[in-house]
């Protein structure tokens, strides 16, 4: 066992996601969920103009999430493309790929400028208070990449009293984990610090179909380890509500490649340091928010067989100023300016791989009785070396209507324009990159209805949404003369679909509670580029047409049982629709018992993953683990 793990375990164990909230959440009906992602101003999910899912600490604890990828895959309409349990986990929302879905940290963009996406498996939930997922175009509010939707990671804030939480975890295939979280407040200042370490051997058994005859073998080279350090410092006094945070991630893992091929000893090391700060100042006329984020990241890849050992390094920086004020009794208006810088260094990138961007935006929330209107407009300008400036104008108009006197029913609709600028690899990779690539652009429309009723200890919610999305100038890498690949603005994509979801929470008795829910998605995403091509009018690769996810939680006194299931439909492997991966069902369960110790509150959790031992692949050739168990011990020391 790794010495670093022994050191951390001896000090603490891991801070369990959601430990602060779960003490009372099992026997109460939740308050209305609050979102800022859909409007840039705090509002409830019921009053937002678009579908929004808020996953709080309770949801993260219920699915025993190791990372953001786990909780998003279990409780939202997104599809997570996973290259095995320790490999890349990328996000697909409403048929859009990972580079077309924007990920934010407390409102600041996190996308890697070289790759244009984030590996969600590297983002632990230990530092998060909630995850917000907004479906549909978000470019009018946040700029590039918000084509399929926006995911906002809201980080932990210190509690009113000093507290400490620790836990340790062990599971199948050599999985171990440990960490600590400390929180405190002194006058106007508050602070929080957390550490998490996780490691896994990843040597699970699977049936290798390439052998004759096919037989069970062990996965080789799928090990991984991850260290996360997190801290925030807050100040609340006078006009100021300020917070500064730092988040360091360090991960190493094997890249075993397809299971049918012989492992080549490939490995990858990922490291990132994020520092951000914001201050919300209150005035008589409204509020002013100032903030910024800086991120430095590196990715090292080694392939001994091909004698490759390369490291890529990226830097991004963002600053933003936004003012919000009430105009009369009906209008809340906001607007601001944002600026950013990005740079990438890699042996295969041009030396001048940089980007500068400026953005100006306005948005409003207008209330006319039962009708709320949400207009927004944004202008982005991108300055690239050796190329003309690229601009994008992104309007959006949304509405929320309460058609009946009672508040239970809400109708929502929004129409917006979205775009994505090319990544550094698209523009500067050698050979093949093209600095003159045009941004991907498209229009999205969605409409839906939300029914929400809460009374006498029962909270019921049901929502239906329809969406239509057309994207042009999508960038594809294709083989060209000279024996290499090059990107081009080629593809046109039409996506339409349906989303249905429901939630129920009830207090059955004084010491018993139940919550359940489901999320169904139908996504028809087709290539409409070239009528003569074999891929024309076929479903996009690795976009499941159907998904169904459900969960059930039952609590009685100190005991709680959570069961979650997800069905992922057929996914085409080839663009012409000739090869596909089979649909699969996966069921997970977790049993928790909580008790009071003299100085702490203890939770013991037993998680059973893939309970029915389904054999399935996320990406062709990358099997997922069979049935496995994890045991977690959590200690929560509340402040006095």
The secondary structure of 15-33 as a DSSP string is PPTTHHHHHHHTTSPPPPP
Burial of 463 (0-12, 13-18, 19+ CB in 10 A): buried
**Tokens 């369960």, located at residue:** 589
The pair of structure tokens assigned to 338 is 């944002």
Q: How far apart are alpha carbons 593 and 602 in whole angstroms?
A: 8
Q: How far apart are alpha carbons 296 and 345 in whole angstroms?
A: 11
Of all residues in the chain, what percent carry a pLDDT higher than 90? 76
pLDDT of residue 4: 41
Closest to 165 (Cα-Cα) out of 573, 639, 640 = 639
**Residue 511 binned pLDDT confidence (cut-offs 50, 70, 90):** confident
Closest to 89 (Cα-Cα) out of 270, 303, 341 = 270
* pLDDT over threshold 80, residue 101: yes
Global pTM value = 0.91
The answer to whether 278 touches 303, Cβ cutoff 8 Å, is no
For the residues of 189-223, what is the DSSP string, one character each?
EEEEEEEEEEEE----EEEETTSSS-EEEE--S--
Q: How far apart are alpha carbons 233 and 558 in whole angstroms?
A: 34
**Residue 640 binned pLDDT confidence (cut-offs 50, 70, 90):** low
* pLDDT over threshold 70, residue 392: yes
| 478 vs 168: which has the higher pLDDT | 168
The answer to whether 69 touches 224, Cβ cutoff 8 Å, is no
**For 174, phi and psi rounded to 5 degrees?**
75, 25
**Residue 5 binned pLDDT confidence (cut-offs 50, 70, 90):** very low
For the residues of 331-342, what is the DSSP string, one character each?
EEEEEEEEEEEE
Mean pLDDT across the stretch 80-99? 92
The answer to whether 194 touches 127, Cβ cutoff 8 Å, is yes
Q: Where are the domains of the chain?
A: 3-637
Chain segment 36-76, per-residue pLDDT in tens = 898 998 899 999 999 999 999 889 999 988 999 999 999 99
Q: Which residues contact 238 (CB under 8 A, 6 or more apart)?
A: none
The answer to whether 467 touches 496, Cβ cutoff 8 Å, is yes
pLDDT of residue 9: 36
Name residue 315's beta-bridge partners: 296, 343
| 119 vs 20: which has the higher pLDDT | 119
Closest to 521 (Cα-Cα) out of 62, 32, 15, 76 = 76
**Residue 115 binned pLDDT confidence (cut-offs 50, 70, 90):** confident
pLDDT of residue 385: 82
CATH 1.10.630.10 applies to domain 3-637: no
Give me the sign of the Cα torsion angle 116, 120, 125, 126.
Answer: negative
Closest to 469 (Cα-Cα) out of 452, 446, 436, 499 = 446
Mean pLDDT of the chain: 90
The answer to whether 47 touches 33, Cβ cutoff 8 Å, is no
**Residue 32 binned pLDDT confidence (cut-offs 50, 70, 90):** low
E strand map for 456-483:
458-480
* pLDDT over threshold 70, residue 22: no
> Which DSSP symbol is given to 145?
T
**Residue 549 binned pLDDT confidence (cut-offs 50, 70, 90):** very high
Chain segment 325-362, per-residue pLDDT in tens = 999 999 999 999 999 999 999 999 998 899 999 999 99
| 482 vs 617: which has the higher pLDDT | 617
Closest to 542 (Cα-Cα) out of 68, 99, 79, 120 = 79
Angle at 313 between CA 308 and CA 317, to 5 degrees: 165
**Tokens 């309007």, located at residue:** 395
**Residue 479 binned pLDDT confidence (cut-offs 50, 70, 90):** confident
Of all residues in the chain, what percent carry a pLDDT higher than 70? 94
Cis peptide before 320 (omega within 30 of 0): no
Name residue 374's beta-bridge partners: 398
pLDDT of residue 240: 95
Closest to 87 (Cα-Cα) out of 631, 629, 625 = 625
Closest to 592 (Cα-Cα) out of 555, 544, 637, 639 = 555
Q: How far apart are alpha carbons 47 and 324 in whole angstroms?
A: 18
The answer to whether 493 touches 530, Cβ cutoff 8 Å, is no
Chain segment 411-470, per-residue pLDDT in tens = 999 999 999 999 999 999 999 998 889 999 999 999 999 999 988 889 999 999 999 999
Integer CA distances (angstroms), 439 to 77, 391, 473, 488, in order: 26, 9, 7, 11
The pair of structure tokens assigned to 72 is 């998003």
Q: Which residues contact 249 (CB under 8 A, 6 or more apart)?
A: 122, 123, 124, 226, 227, 228, 270, 271, 272
* pLDDT over threshold 50, residue 29: no
The pair of structure tokens assigned to 304 is 């001994």
**For 16, phi and psi rounded to 5 degrees?**
-75, 135
**Residue 260 binned pLDDT confidence (cut-offs 50, 70, 90):** confident
pLDDT of residue 1: 39
Q: How far apart are alpha carbons 126 and 298 in whole angstroms?
A: 22
């Amino acid at each position: 066992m790794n010495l670093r793990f022994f050191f951390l375990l001896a000090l603490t164990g891991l801070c369990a996601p959601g430990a602060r909230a779960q003490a009372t959440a099992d026997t109460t009906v939740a308050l209305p969920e609050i979102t800022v992602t859909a409007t840039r101003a705090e509002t409830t999910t019921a009053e937002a103009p678009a579908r929004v899912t808020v996953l709080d600490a309770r949801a993260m604890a219920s699915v025993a999430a190791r990372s953001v990828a786990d909780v998003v895959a279990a409780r939202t309409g997104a599809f997570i493309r996973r290259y095995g349990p320790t490999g890349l986990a990328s996000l697909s929302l409403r048929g859009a790929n990972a580079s077309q879905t924007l990920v934010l940290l407390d409102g600041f963009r996190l996308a890697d400028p070289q790759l244009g996406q984030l590996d969600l498996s590297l983002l632990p939930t230990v530092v998060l208070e909630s995850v917000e997922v907004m479906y549909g175009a978000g470019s009018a509010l946040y700029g590039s990449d918000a084509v399929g939707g926006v995911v906002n990671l809201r980080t932990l804030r210190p509690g009113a009293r000093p507290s400490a939480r620790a836990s340790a975890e062990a599971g199948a295939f050599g999985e171990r984990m440990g960490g600590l979280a400390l929180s405190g407040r002194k006058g106007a200042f508050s602070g929080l610090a957390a550490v998490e370490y996780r490691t896994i051997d990843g040597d699970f058994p699977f049936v290798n179909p390439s052998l004759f005859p096919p037989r069970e073998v062990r996965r080789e080279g799928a090990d991984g380890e991850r260290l996360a350090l997190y801290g925030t410092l807050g100040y609340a006094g006078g006009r100021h509500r300020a917070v500064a945070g730092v988040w360091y991630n360090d991960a190493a893992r094997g890249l075993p490649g397809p299971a049918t091929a012989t492992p080549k000893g490939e490995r990858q090391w990922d490291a990132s340091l994020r520092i951000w700060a914001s201050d919300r100042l209150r005035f008589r006329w409204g509020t002013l928010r100032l903030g910024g984020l800086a991120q430095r990241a590196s990715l090292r890849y080694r392939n001994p067989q091909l004698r490759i050992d390369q490291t890529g390094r990226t830097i991004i920086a963002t600053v933003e100023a936004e003012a919000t004020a009430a105009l009369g009794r009906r209008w809340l208006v906001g607007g601001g300016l944002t600026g950013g810088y990005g740079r990438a260094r890699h042996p295969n990138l041009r030396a001048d791989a940089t980007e500068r961007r400026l953005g100006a935006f306005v948005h409003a929330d207008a209330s006319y009785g039962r009708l709320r209107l949400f207009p927004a407009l944004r202008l982005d300008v991108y300055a690239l070396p050796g190329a003309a400036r690229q601009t994008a104008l992104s309007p959006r108009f949304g509405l929320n209507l309460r058609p009946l006197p009672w508040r239970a029913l809400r109708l929502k609709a929004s129409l917006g324009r979205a775009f994505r600028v090319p990544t550094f690899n698209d523009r500067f990779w050698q050979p093949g990159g093209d600095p003159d690539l045009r941004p991907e652009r498209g229009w999205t429309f969605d409409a839906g209805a939300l029914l929400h009723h809460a009374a006498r200890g029962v909270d019921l919610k049901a929502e239906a949404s329809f969406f239509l999305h057309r994207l042009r100038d999508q960038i594809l890498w294709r083989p060209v003369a000279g024996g290499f690949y090059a990107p081009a603005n080629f593809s046109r994509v039409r996506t339409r679909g349906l989303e249905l979801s429901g939630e129920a929470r009830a207090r059955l008795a004084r010491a018993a509670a139940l919550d359940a829910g489901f999320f169904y998605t139908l996504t028809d995403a087709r290539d409409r580029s070239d009528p003569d091509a074999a891929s024309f009018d076929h479903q996009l690769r690795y976009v499941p047409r159907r998904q169904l996810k459900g969960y059930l939680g039952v609590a009685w006194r100190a005991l709680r049982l959570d069961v979650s299931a997800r069905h992922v439909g057929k996914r085409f492997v080839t663009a012409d629709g000739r090869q596909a991966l089979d649909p699969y069902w996966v069921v997970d369960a977790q049993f928790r018992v909580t008790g009071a110790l003299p100085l702490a509150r203890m939770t013991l959790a037993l998680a059973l993953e893939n309970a029915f031992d389904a054999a399935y692949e996320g990406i062709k050739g990358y099997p997922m683990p069979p049935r496995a168990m994890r045991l977690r011990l959590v200690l929560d020391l509340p402040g006095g």
